[in-house]
Amino acid sequence: MTKSALIVWGGWDGHTPEQSARLVGAMLEEHGFDVTIESTTEAFADADLGKRDLIIPAITMSRIEREELTNLLAAVRGGTGLAGFHGLMCDSFRNEPDYQFMTGGQWVAHPGNIIDYTVNISASDDPITAGIGDFPYRSEQYYMHFDPSVDVLATTTFTGEYVEEIAGVVMPVVWKRRFGKGRVFYSALGHVADEFKVPQMRTIFERGALWAAR
């Protein structure tokens, strides 16, 4: 049976939301998904949302209506998967703690902006990160408020070069979790669509999205 995915893009253009959404949509289509791409949060109010196998938000610094959010939360709690990346999932709706409770985290800073740092794989035995070693990365190094109940798959360590008081802080970069009957996957990598050219980043997100799908 064909799996169904909904991708909704919007918000700040600096995160290349439409380009990233279409790239991810093509990725899922390669795995046989029937993909729908929308450009408004009204898509989250669809009465059939809970029949989807996977939802991917690609939205930054935006707003969502209460009925849209309520329907989205219910869909994931009911078993629909949720997967996303960077600020396009964990900085989508800053005014909505219920959404942040579902995703497992919220962006709060990226000291130094675009910098070189290392992604450390902390769960080498997990199917999402298996066979991938630590790797260098150039992007925003996300400092996040995160839920301690998430299952962390990769981390990064802040040097303190840009903000000395966070020197040595180990921060999750990739995680997964359960939300009701639904699976939730998140990767902090993916500031712009071009970052999907990094093999490790692309593989981790692709595996994570497939894991999250119902």
Q: What is the DSSP string of the chain?
A: ---EEEEEEEE-GGG-HHHHHHHHHHHHHHTT-EEEEESSGGGGG-TTGGG-SEEEEEEES----HHHHHHHHHHHHTT-EEEEETHHHHTS-TT-HHHHHHHTEEEEE-TTSEEEEEEEES-TTSTTTTT---EEEEEE--EEEE-TTSEEEEEEE--SSSSGGGTT-EEEEEEEEEETTEEEEEES--SSGGGGGSHHHHHHHHHHHHHH--
Averaged pLDDT for residues 159-172? 98
pLDDT of residue 46: 98
pTM of the model: 0.98
**Where residue 86 falls among pLDDT bands split at 50, 70, 90?**
very high
pLDDT digits (tens, 9 = 90+) for 64-83: 999 999 999 999 999 999 99
pLDDT digits (tens, 9 = 90+) for 108-141: 999 999 999 999 999 999 999 999 999 999 999 9
C-beta separation of 52 from 5 below 8 A: yes
C-beta separation of 61 from 12 below 8 A: yes
Q: Does domain 4-212 have CATH number 3.40.50.880?
A: yes
Averaged pLDDT for residues 51-56? 98
Distance of CA 170 to the CA centre of its chain: 19
Across the chain, what does the average pLDDT equal? 98
Distance CA 144, CA 91 (A): 10
Distance CA 148, CA 96 (A): 19
pLDDT of residue 1: 86
pLDDT of residue 174: 99
